[in-house]
Every structure is written in C-alpha cells, then in structure tokens.
Amino acid sequence: MAAADTSSPRERYRAQVREEIKEHAREQIATAGASALSLNAISKRMGMSGPALYRYFASRDALITELVKDAYRSLAGTFHDCAAAGGDLPALARALRDWALADPHRYFLVYGTPVPGYRAPEDTTLIAAEIMSVLLAACAAEDAPDAAAAGLDEHLAQHRTWAEDPADPPARLRRALLCWTRLHGVLSLELAGHFTGMGLDPSVLYDAEVRSLAAR
C-alpha cells in the first residue's frame, strides 16, 4: 500500500512546476544541446516572468544539476533492478544500451561533452558511484591478476576513490573500469552517428564487446 502524501498543496504545486520546468529544459536540450539551455526561454514558454522561474531554480547550473541527478538516478535504478533480477555483466551491459538508446540526450547530458562553465557538485558523483558499485559486484567473479595490466592495477590500488569499497582488489577495479570505458566507447560513437555509412550494425559490435569483456 502506497504511503499517504503528507505534503501541502503549496508543496505539491511547487513540485509540479519544477517538473514542468525540467520537461521544458529537456526539450530545449534535445533541440539545441545543454550548452544552449536558457531559463529565460523556458519562462517565456511557460508564461512566467524570469524572476518567478528563478524561485524554482536559482540558476541555469542548478537546473542542469537536477537534470544530471535525474539521469544518474534513472540509470542507477535500471542497474539495481537488473541486478535484483539476477542480471550478470552481459545483462547489465544490455540494460545500459537500452537505457542510452531510449533517450540519447539524457545519455549525453551525463556521458557526453561537458557543458561549458558547468561543474557538477560533489553529491552528484555520489549518485554516479551507485552505478559503479553494481558493476563492481558483477565483476566480482574474476579477480585474477593480469601481467599485461600490472601498471594499471598498481595505479588503481593507489587511486580507488571512485569505488565504494576500499577492499576491492585492483584486478576487480580494472575489470569494471575497462568494461565501463569500452562499453561507453561503442555507445558514444553509435549515439553520435559515427557508424553511419560504415555498413555495420552497432548492436553486433556492442554484443561482441560484451562477450569479450564477459570472457576476461
């Protein structure tokens, strides 16, 4: 049974307006990119004055931060659901691609070119760490050292702040990091249209990467 909503009418109205602002922002980003995001343009579309809109989001960066957090929460939820259903590394990889293809602009907001002049606050990276924790758990089955990656393992042993558990062995960190970078490499190229005209199916290439990573 769902918990009763104890918020006041004013709080519910404020939440509704904030969601409407974010929806307009997502439409604007889809049309012109995150760097062109304009609170004044959104206020005009909503029939609000600029100062009125700024009561809901104090700045462009505050609005971008909310959109970035929403995107990270969405992917973290997707990963948690996949893991709870018994999903292994290939299943997580497929879930990542499905999530990215469902909304490429959301994907590029967090994994694309940084928005000029914007710097995400620290608590945003904490949400992103949830995603990596699920991936690390999926990589736990194989922690064998790799002589060819000894330098990377040593580096990761010294710089493990992106991992939640300081006890994770470097081999596991390496495997998760290589999975993350290689999968995003294929996804970013696909979503940016760089495979157009090459006569190949990006899903086949992605699946091949997934099989290769799962076999490591």
pTM, 2 dp: 0.84
Same domain, 116 and 99: yes
The alpha carbon dihedral of 115, 35, 56, 11 has a sign of negative
Q: Which two tokens stand for residue 151?
A: 């330098």
The residues of the chain scoring below 70 in pLDDT are: 1-5, 141-169, 216
Domain residues for the domain of 206 are: 66-214
| Residue 206's CATH number | 1.10.357.10
Q: Looking at the structure, tell me whether residues 72 and 14 fall in a common domain.
A: no
pLDDT of 148 reads 47
The per-residue pLDDT for 129 is: 86
DSSP string for residues in 51-70: HHHTTT-SSHHHHHHHHHHH
Same domain, 40 and 92: no
**Average pLDDT in the chain:** 86
CATH number at residue 18: 1.10.10
CA pair distance 138, 126, nearest whole angstrom: 19
Q: What is the pLDDT of residues 144-161, one digit of tens each?
A: 555 545 566 566 666 555
95 and 38 in one domain?
Answer: no
The length of the chain is: 216
